[in-house]
Structure 1
Amino acid sequence: MSQRSLRVRYLLQRARRLSLGNVTEFARQVQRVSKAPLPVIVADMLWSSVRYEMGFRDYAVWDIRLLNARERRTWMTHPKSVRLNNTLNGPDSESLLGDKPRFYRDFADMIGRDWIDAADASDDQLTAFLTRHPRVLVKPAEGEGGRGITTFDAAEIPDVAAWRAQLVADNRSLVEEVLPQHERMSELYAGSVNTLRLITYRSPDGTFHVIAAVLRIGNGGVVDNFAGGGMFTMLDDAGVARWAGVDKNSNVFAQHPVTGVSIAGFEVPQFAEAVAMVEEASRRLPTVPYVGWDVAITPSGPALIEANHNSSVFQMKPSVSGVRTGLLHRYRDAVGPGILDRRR
Structure 2
Amino acid sequence: MLTLRALPVRRDGGNSLTAAYHDGLARHWSPARRLAAHGLSAIGCGGWSPGERLYLSEAVRTQGLSMKDRKGLHRLLNPGAFPLSNNILKNKQLFAKIAVGLPLPDACNPDTMDLDAWLARQDDIIAKPSYRSKGQGVARFVRHGDDWRDGEYTRTTVQLAVSLRALWRRGGVIQQRLPTHKALADLSPGALPTLRIVTCLNEGGAPEICDTALRLSAGGPRPVDNFNAGNLVLAVDGQGHCGPAWRSGGKRAPSRHSRHPLTGAPIKGMILPDHDAACALALRAHDRFRHGFTVIGWDIGLTTQGPVLIEGNWNPGTDIVQLVNGRGVADSRLGALYRHALDRLTDADWRAAQAVQRDRR
1:233–1:246 contact (8 Å) kept in structure 2: no
Report the Cα distance in structure 2 between the residues aligned to 1:205 and 1:9, rounded to whole angstroms: 37
Corresponding residue pairs, total: 296
Out of 63, 71, 74, the residue aligned to residue 82 of structure 1 is 71
CA change 1:60–1:11 in 2 (3 A) is farther
User: Structure 1 residues 301, 10: closer, same or farther in 2, change over 3 A?
Assistant: farther
Percent of paired sites with the same residue: 23
User: 1:156 — aligned with what?
Assistant: 147
Name 1:300's counterpart in structure 2.
305
CA, structure 1 residues 284+257, in 2 after alignment: closer, same or farther (shift >3 Å)?
Answer: same
TM-score (norm 1): 0.75
SS of 1:263's equivalent in the other structure is: coil
Deviation for aligned residue 1:283 = 1.1
CA offset digits 1:65-84 (Å, max 9, x no partner): xx4xxx53212322332133
SS in 1 for 2:179: coil
Extract unaligned runs of 5+ from structure 1.
17-45
CA distance in 1, matches of 2:36, 2:106: 41
Aligned position for 1:134: 123
Deviation at 1:290, TM superposition (A): 0.6
Matched, 1:257 2:261: yes
Please name the residue that 1:144 is paired with.
133
The aligned residue for residue 55 of structure 2 is 61
User: Displacement, 1:242?
Assistant: 1.9
Shift of residue 117, structure 1, vs aligned partner: 4.3
**CA offset at residue 54 of structure 1?**
2.5
Contact 1:246 1:253 in 2 (8 A): yes
Aligned equivalents of 2:34, 2:68: Cα separation in 1: 8
> How much does 1:175 deviate?
1.6
1:8-28 alpha-carbon deviations (Å, 9 max, x no partner):
878867888xxxxxxxxxxxx
Tell me if structure 2 keeps the 8 A contact 1:234–1:316: no
Equivalent residue letter for 2:131: E
Q: Which has the higher contact order (CA 8 A, sep 6+)?
A: 2
Partner SS, residue 299 of structure 2? strand
Aligned-residue offset at 1:232:
0.6
Post-superposition shift, 1:258? 1.9
8 Å contact from structure 1 (residues 104, 111) kept in 2 = no
Matched AA of 2:314: H
Q: 1:167 to 1:130 in 2, by over 3 A?
A: closer
Which stretch shows the higher mean deviation, 261-270 or 288-297?
Answer: 261-270
**Structure 1 residues 224 and 207, CA, compared in 2 at 3 Å: closer, same or farther?**
same
Taking the TM superposition and a 5 Å limit, the aligned residue runs for 1:96-135 are 96-117=88-109, 120=111, 125-135=114-124
Larger strand fraction of residues: 2
CA distance in 2, matches of 1:139, 1:245: 26
Q: Which residue of 1 aligns with 2:241?
A: 240
- For 1:57 and 1:276, the matched residues in 2 are separated by 33
Aligned mates of 1:13, 1:169 — CA distance in 2: 39
Q: CA deviation at 1:148?
A: 1.1
Please say if residues 187 and 259 of structure 1, whose CA atoms lie closer than 8 Å, have aligned partners that are also in contact: yes
1:283 aligns with 2:287: yes
Q: TM-score, normalised by structure 2?
A: 0.72
Match of 1:333 in 2: 336
What is the match of residue 152 of structure 2? none
Q: For 1:316 and 1:264, locate their aligned partners in 2 and report how far apart those are by CA, in whole Å.
A: 18
Do 1:3 and 1:83's aligned partners in 2 also have CA atoms closer than 8 Å? Answer: no
Provide Cα deviations, 1:75-100, integer angstroms capped at 9, x if missing partner: 23223321331111123464110011
- Equivalent pair of 1:7/1:83 in contact (CA under 8 Å): no
Distance 1:235 1:76, change over 3 A: farther
Q: Write the distance in 2 (CA, Å) between the matches of 1:163 and 1:298.
A: 26
Summarize the Cα distance change of 1:316–1:92 in structure 2 as closer, same or farther, 3 Å threshold: closer
Q: Give the secondary structure class of the aligned counterpart of 1:211.
A: strand
Q: Deviations over 1:150-172 (max 9, x none)?
A: 21124324643433333455658
Task: Give the letter aligned to residue 265 of structure 2.
Answer: V
Indicate conservation of the 8 Å contact 1:213/1:236, yes or no. Answer: yes
Superposed CA RMSD: 3.1
**1:62–1:315: 8 Å Cα contact kept in structure 2?**
no
- 1:288 to 1:130, Cα distance in 2 relative to 1, 3 A: same
Change over 3 Å in CA distance of 1:265–1:230 after alignment to 2? same
Question: Larger deviation: 159-168 or 239-248?
Answer: 159-168
Distance in 2, matches of 1:175 and 1:13, equals 40
Pick closer, same or farther for the CA change 1:15–1:169 going to 2, 3 Å: farther
* Bigger fraction of residues in helix: 1
Deviates more, 1:186-195 or 1:7-16: 7-16
Q: Which runs of 5+ in 2 are unaligned?
A: 6-23, 149-154, 344-349, 351-361
Q: Distance in 2 between matches of 1:209 and 1:7?
A: 34
Match of 2:62 in 1: 73
CA distance in 2, matches of 1:85, 1:328: 14
